[in-house]
A and B are shown apart, each in its own frame.
Chain A
Amino acid sequence: RKEVEQDPGPFNVPEGATVAFNCTYSNSASQSFFWYRQDCRKEPKLLMSVYSSGNEDGRFTAQLNRASQYISLLIRDSKLSDSATYLCVVKVLTGGGNKLTFGTGTQLKVEL
């Protein structure tokens, strides 16, 4: 089983739609959680951290369910510019320091 699992998609949605991505993680010792965004043939960039109480940044809302080891990202009023791959990321403290494990990503395509 992969440490971080995501539906690869693609999710094809019309502009203005609301879309949700889910992610599950296997390591119950995971400490922190993030969503990164990766545009085609570009490097990943941090989109937002995910807090236990849930958090919102503009049109983006992230949720964490530690009991179910489940993370979600909701995008409202999607824009063409939201088209990208969204990576679910989990941080674990190991003997070697903090380690981030990346999911394989969920591809989003927003269409006119």
Chain B
Amino acid sequence: GAGVSQSPSNKVTEKGKDVELRCDPISGHTALYWYRQSLGQGLEFLIYFQGNSAPDKSGLPSDRFSAERTGGSVSTLTIQRTQQEDSAVYLCASSSRQRGAGEQYFGPGTRLTVT
């Protein structure tokens, strides 16, 4: 079946512009996670959705970052007034609540470059 998809796969933007990154989780997966991974670094947790609510936003690095999820499915991560340090691969993952958060299925990521 279809896995997690993300768009765009690559995004180059100028400093100060806003960007939107999209994630389509696996159908029926109620939990959705956003992470980012900088070159040579580990995965940094950003935000977790259970359904449409976000019980854990603790990883969002600043108020320039926000995310929403609608219909318990698609999620959008928005970065306002992008900075060069925002350059990273943004990964989305989903999991089935019944299986817990142990097995998360990741999308291919969006590679964001801020020039």
Contacts and interface: CB of A to CB of B under 8 A. Distances in A.
Given A94-B56, A97-B55, A103-B42, A46 B104 contact: yes
B101 A91 contact: yes
B34 interface: no
Most buried by A among B58, B104, B109: B104
Contact of A43 (B31, B45, B91, B102): B91
Contacts of A44: 43, 91, 106
A63 to B, nearest CB: 17
A47 B59 CA distance: 25
A87 interface: yes
Interface residues of A, number: 23
A58 interface: no
A100 B42 contact: no
A32 interface: yes
7 A-B pairs closest in CB distance: A96-B56, A98-B101, A104-B42, A43-B106, A96-B55, A102-B43, A46-B103
Contact of A99 (B56, B91, B107, B108): B56
Given A44-B43, A102-B42, A97 B56 contact: yes
A7 B72 CA distance: 38
Contacts of B102: 32, 34, 46, 49, 91, 98, 100
Contacts of B100: 32, 91, 98
A42 B7 CA distance: 15
A61 interface: no
B42 A99 contact: no
A100 B109 CA distance: 18
